[in-house]
Amino acid sequence: MAMAIAASPLLAPSGPNLIGGSGSAGNLIAYNSGDGITVGGTDGTKATSMLGNKIYANGKLGIDLGGNGITVNDANDADTGTNDLLNFPILANITESGGNLIIKGCAPAGIAGATTVELFEADVSAGGKATPGDNKFGKSKDYGEGQTYLASFEEGSASDTDTATCAIATDADGNNHTGMNAFTVTIPTPAGFVTGDSMTATATLSNSGTSEFSPLFCCWKCTMLPVKSTKT
């Protein structure tokens, strides 16, 4: 059953845990003075998956791995800690055609199978519950939060037509995406998708759990990130 959580952050204990789920199982997590969800601290908690939730208008991050603010992507996802400090996905381009969304980007590579990527409308979109800049926390871009869950897809599945590795240049916030996989997927346009709104995403691996929210991609209004792919 879905539940509403507010007033204080949801603290995820040692995993494995599932917060949310498919269909109507997602939670509403909003209006906390701190993080929406704080996963572990220095205890190395792993395998906390956060799926299908609506997370918005919290005082700090929507999802915080380790409780220490934004954890930027690192080369080959070599850092260790809560949920393996899993790199978040990067949305490089989203276009709509014939009732479908074509989504391109990068996601962390799964050790044993595909990576689940969840797509959200961010709370700093027009009409959302937050204001652009609320989720920067000293960085150059907003990072989440995911106010409206839109869809999920699998990087590395049969529906992913890009089998290349992906290297996007390190950005101004220090995000290094070396070692991530490129993806190109086509999904039916979700009912809640609005052209021009800002999108954010998370990645989930069964052995690690879920990442923090990605930096925003603004559909049709922001510069497309260059994706440099190398076939393997």
Residue range 89-135, pLDDT digits in tens: 999 999 988 899 999 999 998 765 679 999 999 999 988 899 999 99
Residues 130-164: tens digit of each pLDDT: 999 999 999 999 998 999 999 999 998 888 999 88
**What is the number of structural domains in the chain?**
1
- The DSSP bridge pattern shows strands 37-39 and 63-65 to be parallel
pLDDT band at 4 (very low <50, low <70, confident <90, very high): low
> Quick check: 142 and 61 in contact, CB under 8 A?
no
Closest CA to 117 of 79, 77, 157: 157
Helix, strand or coil, per DSSP, at residue 96: strand
Helix, strand or coil, per DSSP, at residue 77: helix
CA distance 225 to 223: 6
| Four-point Cα dihedral 9, 80, 107, 174, nearest 10 | 90
Q: Which residues pair with 119 in a beta bridge?
A: 151, 201
Its sign, for the CA torsion 139, 141, 143, 147, is positive
pLDDT band at 222 (very low <50, low <70, confident <90, very high): very low
- What is the pLDDT, as a whole number, of residue 216? 94
Q: Which domain holds residue 70?
A: 4-230
